[in-house]
Amino acid sequence: MTTKNAAHVRVNDGLLGAAEKRLLVALARRLPARVNSDHLTLLGLGAMVGAGLCFWWSRWHPAALLGVIVCLALNWFGDSLDGTLARVRGRLRPRYGYYVDHVIDLAGISFLLAGIALSGQMTPIVAVAFVAAYAMVSAEVFLATHAEGTFRLAFAGVGPTELRIVLAVGIVQLSFRPVVEIAGHAWRLLDVGGAVAIAGLAVAFVVSALRNTRALYMAERLDR
């Protein structure tokens, strides 16, 4: 799925990308006129802050994990729908929207991982490593967008929506089995999940960086 505006081409080839686009367009057409893209962007940020707080609260009240899932759904609604609403209404602000969306995404993931670390369900070093890996991948995507004019939202069929679903499933599992046994050792479920996610982000960074470097090299190859 590709969407073109004045600044760059957005490509979302996630597993749910096409179906998600149809749903978002349908929702955008039904939103009342008093709701605008900025409202949705703020909702997305507030939901991520709420998810982090619910994770932290779950340290003492495990039922608060349900609030995390609700907040993830609200984050999807706000974060995914704000740009679609602008496109449907012809109210695009490409540079403003791109900048604000991704500043908020970086802040939101930091709030979420801080809450997870404070909940005691993930070792702080794993949480910090995850944020660092996420920041590296984000930086590579932003650089590629600037250099190539293509903004890719997904890698190997996994984008933000798919990641939210995986996290929600993990939270349900966490409610029943917070510790897993691997090779005779007990590990926190979210430590294992975090390690897998970090490895996935590292692979995405390397593969994307090599692909984009090659594409740019071929586009600007010097004759000898």
CATH of the domain at 110: 1.20.120.1760
Q: In the Cβ-directed half-sphere of 90, how many Cα atoms lie within 13 Å?
A: 0
Instruction: Of 90, 86, 94, give the one whose Cα is nearest residue 38.
Output: 86
Whole-number Å distance between alpha carbons of 83 and 86: 5
The parent domain of residue 180 ranges over 2-219
Instruction: Of 156, 131, 164, give the one whose Cα is nearest residue 208.
Output: 156
Q: Are 58 and 65 in contact (CB under 8 A)?
A: yes
pLDDT at residue 151, rounded to an integer = 85
pLDDT at residue 156, rounded to an integer = 77
119: Cβ–Cβ under 8 A, 6 or more apart, which residues? 55, 56, 58, 59
| pLDDT digits 0-9 by tens, 116-134 | 999 999 999 999 999 999 9
Query: Angle at the Cα of 150 (from 201 to 110), degrees rounded to 5?
Result: 40
Whole-number Å distance between alpha carbons of 47 and 39: 12
- Percent of the chain at pLDDT > 90 equals 77
Domain count, the chain: 1
Flag whether pLDDT at 6 surpasses 90. no
| pLDDT digits 0-9 by tens, 61-114 | 999 999 999 999 999 999 999 999 999 999 999 899 889 999 999 999 999 999
Q: Is residue 224 part of a domain?
A: no
Flag whether pLDDT at 2 surpasses 90. no
Local confidence band at 7 (pLDDT 50, 70, 90 cut-offs)? low
Q: Is residue 166 part of a domain?
A: yes
Whole-number Å distance between alpha carbons of 103 and 38: 14
pLDDT at residue 224, rounded to an integer = 63
196: Cβ–Cβ under 8 A, 6 or more apart, which residues? none
Flag whether pLDDT at 4 surpasses 60. no
Q: Are 162 and 12 in contact (CB under 8 A)?
A: no
